Amino acid sequence: MKFVAYPDRELLMLALADVIASELAETLNAQGRASFSVPGGTTPGPVFDILSGVGLDWANVAVFLNDERWVGEDSPRSNTRLLRERLLVDKAAAATLVPLYAEAAEPEAVLGALAEGIEPHLPISVLLLGMGTDMHTASLFPGADRLADALASNAPVLLPMRAEAAGEPRITLTAPVLAGAMHIHILITGAEKRAAIEAAAGLTALEAPVRVVLDNATVHWAE
């Protein structure tokens, strides 16, 4: 892994948005289209705010989450809601949102249809991930019910995931999809997450699921 420490969070968010915008522009130039997969949670909002104002050929960018919590968009815990409010506004409103949620009591009921939506946009051009202090990334939580399935080299694109730490049921991109991305960035802040990602390097993917992308990722960190 490549580890980049920034003097403060503001500089981190600006520099990361700049790298992502360049990689998306480069992909758009070369291929005419690009895909961008992003985390939910509390950390990435400022990166979304900056990116949404960047002049890119957003109309040819497909945006989708790394994972979604099984709640409707009326819930403050909806990652889709975060995307609509913070990324898919201003210039980036022209991007296409590929959904990771559809109204259904359980993710299993709509898994196939959601996976079909994602497949044409693989491999992911630019992957931005978050990480929890328990070393989960996307919704690959240590101890989750389907973690081993999601880590398999022949895993399907999407899997439902349930874990005590996750709260509600989740749906997540799986290890081969994440690891197959062309550019991989992990955004973390604070001393606890820095220690966690350093510890992950010496653990297995079952113990520290972030391992599945770590070797080829750039980790962006500020206190």
Contact positions vs ligand 6PG (CB under 6 A): 39-43, 66-67, 69, 79, 130-132, 136-138
- Single-letter code of the amino acid located at 223: E
Cβ contacts of 103 within 8 Å, gap of 6 or more:
72
Rg, the chain, Cα only: 16
* Min CB(117)–ligand 6PG separation in Å: 18
- Single-letter code of the amino acid located at 104: A
Cβ contacts of 96 within 8 Å, gap of 6 or more:
59, 61, 62, 63
Sheet arrangement for strand 183-189: 2-5, 218-222, 183-189, 126-129, 34-38, 61-65, 96-97
DSSP bridge partners of 70: none
* Min CB(69)–ligand 6PG separation in Å: 6
Neighbours of 191 (CB within 10 A): 9
